[in-house]
Amino acid sequence: MKIIRTTDFELVAKLNKPIHDLHVSLYPEHFTEYSFGAMRDAFERFMQNESFSFFIVEDNNEPLGYAWIEIKNYSQGAFVKQRKSLFVHQISIVENQKRKGYGSFLMNYIYDFAKSEGIEMIELDYWTDNEHAKNFYDKQGFAAFREYVYKKI
């Protein structure tokens, strides 16, 4: 297994399909059906943002998933202290390779990457009905410190 940093937006768009399809199945009222062209164009734009980084997990030179991260700098203000964190936007592993350690391998790489950048906090979010994500991040030692709620009217 190895991790490589990438700017291959077409590959990331392809690897995004499993996580996007899951989001569509859980929340069809919020997510559009997967479109490779739309994803390709979106990831091409995202990769132009210097705060974003994309990492591919490979095994035997086969790409099996990716992580999309962002280094966030929070400014000192009247309410919050200045801080820096690493935000995990997405992790996606191809369908037939889940539960084989690739997600954990990616997360360990992200922890090391954050440390190398002098960052002590990893932040992320996930959709509450995504039990797989909840269980995975619980095992990784993540704890909730804020909840995002809604009410339909």
Q: What is the pLDDT of residues 75-107, one digit of tens each?
A: 999 999 999 999 999 999 998 888 899 999 999
Beta-strand pair 52-59/122-124? unpaired
Q: Is residue 151 part of a domain?
A: no
CA distance 37 to 54: 19
Burial annotation 24-36 (CB, 10 A radius, 16+ → b, else e): eeeeeeeeeebee
Q: Is residue 73 part of a domain?
A: yes
DSSP code for 115: H
Q: Is residue 149 part of a domain?
A: no
CA dihedral angle for residue 13, residue 18, residue 22, residue 28, rounded to 10 degrees:
40
Q: Is the pLDDT of residue 151 over 80?
A: no
Contact 7, 47 (CB under 8 A): yes
Q: Is residue 146 part of a domain?
A: no
Q: Is residue 11 part of a domain?
A: yes
End-to-end CA distance of the chain: 48
pLDDT over 70 for what percent of the chain? 100
Q: Is residue 148 part of a domain?
A: no
Is the pLDDT higher at 151 or at 61? 61
Q: What is the pLDDT of residues 2-42, one digit of tens each?
A: 999 999 999 999 999 999 999 999 999 999 999 999 999 99
Q: Is residue 37 part of a domain?
A: yes
Model pTM?
0.90
- CATH code of the domain containing 7: 3.40.630.30
Q: Is residue 10 part of a domain?
A: yes
Domain hosting 87: range is: 2-139
How many domains, in total, are found in the chain?
1
